[in-house]
Structure 1
Amino acid sequence: MLDIEAIFSDGGALAQTVRDFRVRDGQIEMADAVAAAIRENAVLVAEAGTGTGKTFAYLIPALLSGGKVIISTGTKTLQDQLFDRDIQVV
């Protein structure tokens, strides 16, 4: 698996792809936790405030895992954001 911290770093893949990207420690911490949960086939409940970067924090480890993933959203707006923008970026 690629290094999560490298992807989320200042010069990493996200910084090269996402305009105005900035490193968020909470985002890296959540992405590491998601990656560990996927790797260990464990359950993870994560909570983070607005602007933390939750979407990329779970999408990137999910993509890197190479497995199938189900994403459930609370609103149609978030579903559209995932489908129309975020998944394509990742």
Structure 2
Amino acid sequence: MASATRDALGPRGALAQADPGFVERDVQQQLAEAVAQAVDERTTLVAEAGTGVGKTFAYLVPLLLSGRRALVSTATKSLQDQLFLRDLPRLRQALRLPVRIALLKGRSSYLCIHRLQQARETGTLPDR
């Protein structure tokens, strides 16, 4: 899988063909190969990389190419939305992979109709 990952992120790879603005980055390639190796060996990888390295694609490309089920957790809802709405669709199209993805958010991200009704009834919420 490291070879497929290297090819996909390379100067003539799937991402470069799908996006003329895509630029190969050596550090991104190294990180992606480390992720691919960890996925292949079913081991843990702890990695750190600076801004602009391309961390998102470096971990998503080998995960998607592996065909394995994966869970990606983000620190913010904004990053979660970026992955789900922008990065993953772009990668699925470029890599031509029919993978299924799902976006999961905790219940604190949604309005509770019951609590809304309670607040209205107790007068702690305006009617508007």
What range describes the TM-score normalised by the shorter chain of this pair? over 0.9
Distance 1:48 1:25 in 2: 12
TM-score by length of 1: 0.94
- Equivalent residues in 2 for 1:3-82 (5 A)? 3-82=4-83
Range that drifts further, 10-19 or 66-75 = 10-19
- The one-letter amino acid of 1:39's match is D
TM-score for both structures, normalised by structure 2: 0.67
Q: CA shift at 1:18, angstroms?
A: 2.5
Structure 1 runs (4+) deviating above 4 angstroms are: none
Number of residue-to-residue matches in the alignment: 90
Unmatched 5+ stretches in structure 1: none
Deviation of the 1:39 alpha carbon: 0.6
SS of the equivalent of 2:27 reads helix
User: Deviations for 1:46-75, whole angstroms, at most 9, x for unmatched residues?
Assistant: 100111000010001001111100000011
Instruction: Calculate the aligned-residue CA RMSD, in Å.
Output: 1.1
> Considering only CA atoms, is the larger Rg found in Structure 1 or Structure 2?
2
Where relative contact order (Cα < 8 A, 6+ residues apart) is larger, the structure is: 1
